[in-house]
Amino acid sequence: MSNEINKETEPSHVESDGVESGKKPTFRQKLKRHCARFWWIHVIVFIIVVLVIVLPVVYVGYPNLAQKEINKSVLEVTNLTLFNPAPDSFDLGLTTVFHTDSKYHPRLDAFNASLQLPDSDVPFAYLDIPAMDAGDGVESQVSQRVQIADLTEYTKYVATTLGTEEYSIVLKGKGGLKQGGLPNTNVNYNKEIKMKGASTPLLFVCTIHSPSMYLQIGLNSLKGFNVTEFNILTTPQDDGSNANGTLVIPNPTAMTVQLGTVTLSMSVDGTPVGDATINDMILAPGDNTMEMRAVTNQTAVLGFIFNQYKDGILPIDVVGNTTTFNGQPIPYYQIPLQHNVLRLDLDVIDALERAGLAELLGINRTAKA
């Protein structure tokens, strides 16, 4: 009887994890026990896996994607002005529109950009590019006094602009980029700059180390320069001039450039025949009409008319002489203009007839013909 009582009152042996002794634990019970004992190992493994996946995305993939999107973007330059020239500086006005088809619209930090010719490693100027939101159609403006970094290189740039139909310049820089909650990253700018004429907007196309060349249309040696009106003055003038006229100078670019007071030397077959002055010369996009005043060697001019150019049409070579602004020489304009020779055919007999001098000199339309 006592044995039966002992069996009934003897407690069951149960393990601490809820599994009765003698019974094989289930898989779920094993997993629960394992997680309870080794949870910290799983946390560490999870953190490592996350870091292995996330860190390369954030610090490798994200910067590469940012650089790729910057490379594909385009800056459309809608306005470019160069005013108030000084021997070592000028006022720059630049308006651009950012174009992109990216679904990302990061914040681009301000950065300092250098400008140089493609065949040179020496920048001729630096620009402060402002911060902007890189969304399609966003406009950005630069307005600053630019110090010329290298006068020789900038003079070459002006000469290239003046003397060629198309060319390119390079913009370089490095700036920050921030997309949403992601960390800041840096992107490089190394662009061939493409600029088209007045009828088409200018384009800055991002091309990081691209072998393709983006061209900038220049002033094309001022081809199309012409004198639409030439008058001989028969009364004394305070400035000593004895002729005046109207010039048309084309500017096929989208730039507006203030040159200052420009003097031009005129010659026929290498013989000087006079000097002309254009005050406050500004070249805007399209055809520019401006007034000139000239001091001509009338004796030399008449000599050509009575001898080798009896039709009265003189082939005049025009070349830049001096360029000044506020009384200061502007060498980066003056030197290129001194090497840019323009040829125009000037009807001198027509001017003599309108001044009432042709008949006195025995020159008439019949003789001209």
Task: State the pLDDT at residue 200.
Answer: 31
Task: State the pLDDT at residue 103.
Answer: 77
Task: State the pLDDT at residue 192.
Answer: 73
- Mean pLDDT of the 139-146 span: 92
Q: Which of 289, 321, 288, 305 is nearest to 357 (CA)?
A: 305
pLDDT band at 47 (very low <50, low <70, confident <90, very high): low
- Pick the range with the lowest mean pLDDT from 71-85, 113-127, 355-369: 355-369
**What percentage of the chain exceeds 90 in pLDDT?**
35
Q: Where is mean pLDDT largest: 69-78, 161-170, 242-251?
A: 242-251
More confident of the two residues 317 and 193: 317
More confident of the two residues 161 and 281: 281
**What percentage of the chain exceeds 70 in pLDDT?**
72
Task: State the pLDDT at residue 64.
Answer: 75
pLDDT band at 234 (very low <50, low <70, confident <90, very high): confident
Calpha distance 154→235 (Å, rounded) = 43
Question: Residues 134, 107: contact at Cβ < 8 Å?
Answer: yes
Calpha distance 123→146 (Å, rounded) = 13
- DSSP H helical segments within the chain, as ranges? 2-9, 27-56, 62-72, 151-163, 298-306, 331-338, 348-354, 365-368
Q: Which of 117, 124, 122, 121 is nearest to 90 (CA)?
A: 124
- Pick the range with the lowest mean pLDDT from 83-92, 126-135, 179-188, 235-244: 179-188
**b/e map 294-321, b = 16+ CB within 10 Å:** bbbbbeebeebbeeebeebebebbbebb
**If you average pLDDT over every residue of the chain, what do you get?**
78
Query: For the segment 179-222, what is each residue's pLDDT rounded down to a tens digit?
Result: 777 778 888 888 777 654 332 333 433 333 322 222 333 444 45
Hey, what are 52's tokens?
A: 């292995």
What domains sit in the chain, N to C, each tagged with a CATH number? 73-217 (2.60.40), 220-368 (2.60.40)
Query: For the segment 56-92, what is each residue's pLDDT rounded down to a tens digit?
Result: 444 446 577 777 777 777 777 777 899 999 999 999 9
Hey, what are 209's tokens?
A: 């180390």
More confident of the two residues 35 and 82: 82
Task: State the pLDDT at residue 29.
Answer: 65
Task: State the pLDDT at residue 290.
Answer: 94
Task: State the pLDDT at residue 259.
Answer: 95
Q: Where is mean pLDDT largest: 28-37, 318-327, 360-369?
A: 318-327
- Mean pLDDT of the 301-321 span: 90
More confident of the two residues 294 and 2: 294
- Model confidence, pTM: 0.75
